[in-house]
Amino acid sequence: MDKQNTSTHDSDGSDEARNRHIKIYINGELVHRDEAKVSVYDSGFMLGDGMWEGMRLYHGKWGFFEEHMDRLFNSCKAVSLDIGIAREDILDALTQTAAANDMTHDVHCRLMVTRGVKSKPFQHPALSQSGATIVIIMEHSKPAEILQTKGINLATVPQIRGLPMSQDAKFNSHSKLNCVIACLQAEQAGADEGLMLDPHGFVNTTNACNFFIVRKGEVWTSTGDYCMNGVTRQKVIDLCRANDIPVFEKNYSLYEAYGADEAFLTGTFGAQTPVYQIDGKRIGNHYGAGPVTQHLQKLYKELIASLY
Ligand SMILES: Cc1ncc(COP(=O)(O)O)c(C=O)c1O
């Protein structure tokens, strides 16, 4: 079992000093991170009642901005959360925040929208009367080398992805307790991240990223039910289709995952992160990305480069 744990969101550490004095956007104001505070009555703090997006800035261009806004606005509409501003205003706020921090590249952003400040410390959404709280945290951020050279060690965890009629996994909500519990279980099993099954026992996703395997040149991922509708997941599927790489969204079990030639995770932060081990079983005979994963990484980099 691996002793030194890694996380899919590890950055290379060179940015820590630069991020110590960043400015945070809170409802139109830009303040030093030490002064960036929201009310203890905020719906996001009190109940996890809010939605967020993780986005990356590449040479001054936000990666897949429209896709992120489609997901954010769809999620907020589904829970009757009025963002209060249009997507162009959000782009404006992102631009202001990037400029205030002198950031153009290797930047990760967490855009958060909550139902706002409550008049009393209770659950009813009608108590949130202030209008949405909008926060943008933008950090210098470069994924750590080890994520590519070695990869990630997964453990299958007891915590599963739920049915959409409990809390739909497509909500990128402030409440991530389901994922946090899965992550804790993985850590306690000595792994970096938790591999989560769906309610039927099929392999679904990890606690923070979407999950793919490669078998005999074919790329497989879950049906898309029960997991985050990841922007990167969809881009990888589209790239496969555009480049004649067989890709399937289907049910499969741990039997096929353990026997895969390659496995990788997708997410905005790490793009495609190789997986080298699942439940103590080595995947393929390589560390880092296997040949199909490397091919997809190259195609994804070209796609990103076409944005700026
Ligand atoms: C549980 C989960 N899965 C997958 C993803 C990856 O989604 P994306 O590719 O849009 O970053 C995220 C990102 O927020 C997530 O929280």
Per residue in 89-127, pLDDT tens?
999 999 999 999 999 999 999 999 999 999 999 999 999
Ligand 1 atom at minimum distance from 205 CA: 3
**What's the confidence (pLDDT) of residue 11?**
80
What does the alpha-carbon distance between residue 144 and residue 69 come to, in Å, rounded to a whole number?
Answer: 27
Residues 6+ positions from 147 with CB-CB distance below 8 Å? 6, 8, 10, 270, 273, 274
pLDDT at 266: 98
Cβ 260 vs Cβ 292: under 8 Å:
no
Q: Measure the CA–CA gap between 238 and 266, rounded to whole angstroms.
A: 13
CA distances from 299 to 125, 130, 243, 305 (A): 44, 45, 9, 10
For the whole model, what pTM was predicted?
0.96
**Beta-strand runs (E) in 78-142:** 107-114, 133-140
Q: With bands split at pLDDT 50, 70 and 90, how would you rate the model's confidence at 15?
A: confident
pLDDT of residue 22: 97
272 lines ligand 1 (CB under 6 A): no
Ligand 1 nearest atom to the CA of residue 267, by list position: 9
Distance 299 CA to ligand 1 centre (A): 20
Which two three-digit tokens encode residue 226? 């029960």
Give the mean pLDDT of 1-8.
64
Q: Check pLDDT > 70 for residue 80.
A: yes
Residue 178 CB less than 6 A away from ligand 1: no
Dist. CA 84–CA 24, nearest whole Å: 19
Query: Phi and psi for 29 in degrees, rounded to 5?
Result: -110, 145
Q: Is the CB of 267 under 6 A from ligand 1?
A: yes
pLDDT of residue 64: 98
Higher per-residue confidence, 210 vs 2 = 210
What mean pLDDT comes out for the span 40-54? 98
Residues 242 and 239: their CA atoms lie apart, in Å, by 5
Q: Which of 57, 62, 206, 209 to mutate to test the pocket of ligand 1 (most atoms within 8 A of CB)?
A: 209
Contact call for residues 199 and 223 (beta carbons, < 8 A): no
**How long is the chain?**
308
Contacts of 79 (CB under 8 A, 6+ apart): 49, 51, 171
Structure-token match 């890709």, residue found: 247
CB atoms within 10 A of CB 49: 21
